[in-house]
């Protein structure tokens, strides 16, 4: 799979995605589905951030609201109370780091960009805050457009599709058009593994991931330690690294440009092996 040459502008840094990159997940929540990913305080956040950067993460993705199935929404105010101390500490300690913030709120997006974040990762794809698209256009930052249905609390009750890949593609085409009309330049596509999809649907979606290349935009795959892995293997999220690595390679072979992961080094090694495979004549 030869990757198209995509570049995104993160706060004046041009990131070339011709070679796949890693986004490391840092959870600032007390209830994330994978306990080991939780950073309980600023010291822990800085430790995790440093390790991820040393191991080869291009992006750090800070999230302060759990999006596990069944999780309740919190307010933007509560989210910012968790986010801002961590973001400020990371920006001060690692000023060259590219920080993404995982949020569904335009209010949060404005606040974190003013504090140094240079990408917004919206698991709702603009569906839970009508001001999000307009805000992204004003901020001028790259935007991860993810597909989901409902909220984390209700999404697993909304898994009816005629053709899962085409239905999601239709939804994303419409939203990309809306973002383009507003002047948003850098859009990344995340089909939303685990969000409003059954285990079987997630595997169908992974198998058809290359369908989304028709959008002509970079693809982000967030498979790390998700239900489709540990439920299928009858293990726990803590035991799902090997399965994550296997599916990350599949995602790369189907066109993923960014792997969003909890474990950076194994993902970096997966990309290195993929690159060797990809360049064998």
Residues tagged active-site? 226, 260
Alpha carbon distance 166, 215 (integer Å): 12
Q: Which of 253, 251, 210 is nearest to 229 (CA)?
A: 251
Alpha carbon distance 24, 22 (integer Å): 6
Q: Both ends of the chain: CA-CA distance in Å?
A: 13
């Amino acid at each position: 799979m030869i990757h198209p040459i995509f570049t995104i502008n993160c706060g004046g840094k041009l990131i070339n995605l011709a070679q796949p990159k890693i986004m490391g997940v840092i959870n600032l929540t007390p209830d994330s589905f994978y306990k080991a990913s939780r950073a309980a305080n600023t010291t822990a956040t800085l430790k995790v951030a440093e390790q991820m950067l040393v191991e080869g993460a291009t992006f750090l993705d800070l999230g302060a609201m759990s999006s596990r199935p069944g999780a309740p929404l919190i307010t933007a105010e509560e989210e910012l109370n968790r986010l801002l101390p961590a973001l400020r500490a990371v920006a001060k300690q690692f000023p060259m780091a590219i920080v993404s913030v995982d949020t569904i709120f335009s209010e949060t997006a404005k606040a974190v960009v003013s504090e140094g974040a240079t990408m917004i990762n919206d698991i709702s794809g603009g569906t839970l805050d009508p001001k999000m698209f307009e805000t992204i256009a004003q901020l001028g930052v790259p935007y991860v457009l993810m597909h989901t249905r409902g909220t984390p609390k209700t999404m697993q009750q909304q898994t009816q599709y005629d053709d899962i890949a085409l239905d999601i593609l239709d939804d994303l085409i419409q939203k990309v058009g809306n973002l383009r009309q507003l002047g948003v330049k850098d859009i990344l596509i995340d089909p939303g593994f685990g969000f409003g999809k059954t285990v079987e649907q997630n595997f169908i979606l992974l198998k058809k991931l290359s369908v989304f290349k028709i959008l002509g935009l970079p693809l982000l795959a967030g498979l790390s330690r998700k239900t489709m892995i540990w439920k299928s293997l009858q293990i726990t999220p803590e035991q799902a690294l090997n399965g994550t690595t296997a599916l990350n390679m599949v995602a790369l072979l189907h066109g993923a440009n960014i792997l969003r992961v909890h474990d950076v080094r194994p993902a970096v090694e997966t990309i290195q092996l993929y690159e060797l495979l990809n360049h064998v004549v």
